[in-house]
Structure 1
Amino acid sequence: MGTVRNILQAKGHGVFSVEPAVTVYDAIELMSQKNIGGLIITDQRSEKLLGIFTERDYARRLILKGKSSKDTAIGEIMTENPITVSPDDSIESCMKLMTNRRIRHLPVCDGGKLTGMISIGDVVRFIIDEQRAIIEDLEQYITGHHQ
């Protein structure tokens, strides 16, 4: 099975991030424009990873608590100190981590530096593509069409 590095090579290392002072409304607007389910919260000066904000945070920490998205800073409701993975972590370990902890997004850090983010969708896509390639190889081997 592959590693997080394989996913990032295919999808890229781009990460959408905002500072903690940004309003929840502006963060949700950015997520909608980029069609993403999570944002990284960073200190722009130090580029330090402060937290993560997801659609789940929005529903549970803002809506259910009766707060206003236009008056609340994202830093107030983000998940602090999110679980991270490294580029060398296996896809299998990420899948187990995401399933056991019930999370859908994992920031990727390499030597303490944020280098990307993967989602459960990225993991599932990778596994499906990998299994498809294995099946094709096996079919070619069985039918004698291998090199």
Structure 2
Amino acid sequence: MSANTLFGQLRDWLVALAGGVLLALMIDSNSWLARYSNPVHASWIAHGIGAAVALLLILVVERARRKRSPSAASGAKAPAWFYLGGIPGALTVTLAAIAINGDLSLSGAIALMLLGQVLFGMLSDHFGLLRMPRRKIVAWDLVVVLCVLSGSALIIYGDKHA
């Protein structure tokens, strides 16, 4: 394995871990905001602030891209339904705030959210949903689901029996 490939993999792992930390931070802060208002209001605030930050990032990235290559322009247009990703995002924030303000801890809610992501990812891969390449579900995938489910149960119920 080349150093570039290894560096790329390490970078991807670190970016994914940072994304997970930021997701947990977002869910925790939104659940606190929901306690002082409601989950829908907290989601609206989170997405409003997120949109403002994303706009600033777009401006910075586009400016840097134009400096590097002023003539670079992508003529490809995404299908309209690709722009609907904000809908599950808003629902994720709202449902997470409801779950965390119930009996689940932050870590328990995130563990179950991970289980949902793994299950949807497997089904998406298996059926080729959302233009994903098809990949058959194999026995190892079921072991993964069992491990995530077991880990989720340990996080949620483990401290109650200790």
* Class of the TM-score when normalised by the shorter of the 2 chains: under 0.3
Write 1 or 2 for the structure with the bigger share of strand. Answer: 1
User: With CA pairs under 8 Å and 6+ residues apart, which has the higher RCO, 1 or 2?
Assistant: 1
TM-score, normalised by the number of residues in structure 1 = 0.23
TM-score, normalised by the number of residues in structure 2 = 0.21
